[in-house]
Amino acid sequence: MTEGHTVGTMPESNDVVLLLRKQHGQIRDLLDQVADGPADRRRESFERLTHLLVVHETAEQEIDHTYLRRSGGDGERVAARRTAEEDDATRALDALVAMDPDDAGFAERFRALRRDLLDHAAAEEDEEFPLLHDMAGPAALQAMAKATRAAEMLAPTRPHPGLDSVPKKAAAGPLAGLADRTRDAVRAVREHLP
Instruction: Give pLDDT, residue 32.
Output: 97
pLDDT for 154 beyond 90: no
| CATH number belonging to the domain at 11-190, selected among 1.10.10.10, 1.20.120.520, 3.30.390.10, 1.10.1040.10 | 1.20.120.520
Pairs from 71-77 (Cβ < 8 Å, separation ≥ 24): 71/135, 74/131, 75/131, 75/135
Rounded distance, CA 45 to CA 29, Å? Answer: 10
Sign of the dihedral defined by the CA atoms of residues 86, 144, 2, 137, in that order = positive
What distance in Å separates the CA atoms of residue 138 and residue 15, rounded to the nearest whole number? Answer: 7
Q: Return the C-alpha torsion angle 63, 53, 89, 163, nearest 10.
A: -100
Spatial distance between the Cα atoms of 6 and 142, rounded to a whole number of angstroms: 8
Confidence of residue 5 (pLDDT cuts 50, 70, 90): very low
pLDDT grade for 120, boundaries at 50, 70 and 90: very high
What is the average pLDDT score of the chain?
Answer: 81
Task: Note the Cα 172 to chain centre separation in Å.
Answer: 19
Q: What is the pLDDT of residue 14?
A: 83
Reported residue count of the chain is 194
Give the start-to-end residue ranges of the domains of the chain: 11-190
From 2-11, 32-41, 102-111, the region with the lowest mean pLDDT: 2-11
pLDDT in tens, 79-113: 999 999 999 999 999 999 999 998 989 999 999 99
The share of the chain scoring above pLDDT 70, in percent, equals 73
Of 154 and 29, which is predicted with more confidence? 29
Cβ–Cβ < 8 Å for 57, 86:
yes
Please give the Cα distance from 34 to 72 (Å, whole number).
38
Q: What does the angle CA 57 – CA 16 – CA 26 come to, to the nearest 5 degrees?
A: 55
pLDDT of residue 153: 80
**Averaged pLDDT, 58-84:** 92
Q: What 3-state class would DSSP assign to 145? A: helix
Residue 114 has pLDDT above 80, yes or no: yes
The predicted structure's pLDDT at residue 178: 58
